A = this chain, B = another copy of it.
């Protein structure tokens, strides 16, 4: 049986103007190749409705799987979701499950779920959500198209949860913990933890918020109990 085929669609003016260097294409190419999916084509288009709709329709019809990156954030030029919906002639609106995920995320941080952020809860009818352990706002799968974020750490986390569904592999579970300390303080204990849990993939995604350093620690693995155990240890090391 020939390998399943895939295409990627990168969406964003910032790539085409040279302001940002795309990192997701190379990552996706490596990951799908590992699991026996042939990446056959990549297209990069601008934040233009007609270009997005045409590319989604062409690639969805031409390949078994399509992965998109970019254009699902809170700003006015993030127009991927509605144009993927349009490509499949589906309505799109704020969906309760996506809204609940965002509300919980921002509540926990004392931040407002304002209109801009609520844009990220707009999901085409019939799509299934893709988990975002880094910053909550979900991606989604509609037909054979997997719509994911452009930020590389989030793109990678979303891809990790999507790929096993396509290949019939064991699903990858993930948990995240936000630690309000600099990575220099976190690195040592985290490295010890990673050594004791070699079956888990542990990533650290630093941020600066309100002038304070912090990092989102994301753990992924196939064994939920191991994930719980490691996450509990981490939480004890760094009490809130």
Residues of chain A whose beta carbon lies under 8 Å from any beta carbon of chain B: 10, 15-18, 21-22, 25-31, 33, 38-46, 51
Contacts and interface: CB of A to CB of B under 8 A. Distances in A.
10 contacts: A10-B42, A16-B40, A16-B41, A17-B29, A17-B39, A18-B26, A18-B27, A40-B51, A41-B46, A42-B42
Given A43-B42, A46-B40, A26 B21 contact: yes
A25 B39 contact: no
Most chain B CB within a 10 A radius of its CB, from A17, A22, A27, A44 = A44
Contacts of A18: 26-31, 33, 39
A30 B17 CA distance: 6
Given A16-B38, A40-B51, A42-B42, 4 more contacts: A17-B33, A18-B27, A40-B45, A42-B43
A17 B43 CA distance: 15
Contacts of A38: 16
Given A17-B33, A18-B30, A33-B18, A25 B44 contact: yes
B45 A41 contact: yes
6 tightest A-B CB contacts, nearest first: A18-B30, A18-B29, A42-B44, A21-B26, A16-B39, A17-B33
A22 B8 CA distance: 15
Nearest to A46: B40
A139 B41 CA distance: 23
Interface-centre pick from A38, A42, A45 (highest chain B CB count, 10 A): A42
Contact of A41 (B22, B41, B51): B51
A28 B44 CA distance: 13
A49 to B, nearest CB: 14
Of A15, A18, A21, A38, most B-chain CB atoms within 10 Å: A18
A27 B17 CA distance: 10
B43 A41 contact: yes
A22 B26 contact: yes
Nearest to A32: B18
A45 B7 CA distance: 10
Contacts of A51: 40-41
Given A15-B29, A33-B17, A41 B39 contact: no
Most buried by B among A10, A25, A27: A25
